Structure 1
Amino acid sequence: MSAVAGAVRQVLPPAVLLVGLIAAWQGAVVVAEIPPFVLPGPAAIASELVEFREPILSAAAVTGRNAALGLLSGGILGVLLALVAAALRLVDALAAPLVTALSAVPVVALAPVLYSMHGAGSEHARVVVAALAVFVPVYLHTLRGLRQVLPVHRDLLRALAATPRQAARVVTLPTALPFVFTGLRLASSLAVISAVVAEYFGGPRSGVGSFITTAAAGSDYAQAWAYVLGAIAVGLLFFTATSLAERAVLRRRPG
């Protein structure tokens, strides 16, 4: 019973705040007579969300798949390169300026170029954009985590004649795991955002971003916001999934 009460106390305040914000939003739209192209009301958005629920779910599934592929490929590449860079100073020195330059590149601006390379009907460009957005935070956080091992721990393992593989398994990787998941948590939202924005620049009319632009171009602003809610739901799903994975893995971590 106490657990249920604790859950209620934790969930109730943000739920009440959300309901209050939505009510204030609807009231402001009605009282101030705000035009729909400036800000449609929650009631209109909810009506469009119900009416177009199937297309929204279909578009969200496409965006989610592209973001998931980008998160997986960019995350694996970031972790692998960080492992190599942590082991070889030459690779670290060579990768540092490249990663810095990549972090400054607006990767979504690469979408039109990638569409011309892969074809306007291909989803590959969106996956690549999401992977590039994911790679930088995962690489930087993983590399930082791999460097967190205390010198005293390294000296102890050396005194015990531990092999590099044993040292990595016992100390280095467990220490780096929280940093890896921090990078993945941040990257999960970036993957969805990048996939959605990449859909603005062309390609097949399949994802949430392309339907947002189509609805806005047709002055269906409430419908555009309904698709925005679909994108938000995908982002929240990705963030929740990575957070749960982090909790499950770190809970089983030895020590």
Structure 2
Amino acid sequence: MPATPAWPPRSAPRLFVESELAEGQLITIDGQPAHYLSRVMRVSEGNAVILCDDKTGEWACRVVEAGKRHVNVETVERLREREQVPDLWLCPALLKKDRFDTVLEKATELGVREIRPVITRRCVADKLNADRAHMIVTEAAEQCARTALPGLTAPEKLDTFLRDFPAGRALFFADELGGSPTAKAFAAHGAPAAILIGPEGGFDDAEREAIRAHPQAKPITLGPRILRGETAAIAAVSQWMGASGDW
């Protein structure tokens, strides 16, 4: 006899929802997520959907009703508890919208716990659309099967960031003028940690001096080439995850 197909299938669509989930619960999905399920994924009664609530974990659900404006699903079983995310903050200077979108997306995929944007003197932007940013990290978490959304704070000026930086957390800052090799620095100081990345034009002299004067600051180098802000963020997080994270 043919083998019984696995349920839920690996191809089942994934969504984050705001309500806390429990077994046997009826959930109504509306708005854009309902449009995605019904019009894009074309789910129908009996199909599987995987929901995450950023609290209890990941749940396999069965579609009860698929309408044009809403989709009703019933939670069947919990597949995974909410994951333990490595205690790494990414603290990137704001970039142009499309480039910062990339930072948000890739930082989520790579597994950071929090994204804390900063504003420096050479930033080309000083605002962040919070709703858009939340949508980007949520969609990235859905795509890469995270069960925990990264925290996302409002942008703050560099001097405020340094003043309020918590004790006990290493502050690695990517300095194009040089520092310790990342492999050595990350191996010596694990979590909790934060990585501070500058804007396209880099930190100015006064900012660099203020960062280096911070008692928890640890200058690092990302190699002999000057990297764009989004490339530096991705490279630094990748190396930290390889040395101290969940890779």
Calculate the TM-score normalised by the size of structure 1: 0.22
More helix by share: 1
More strand by share: 2
**Could you say which structure has the greater relative contact order, defined with CA pairs below 8 angstroms and 6 or more residues apart?**
1
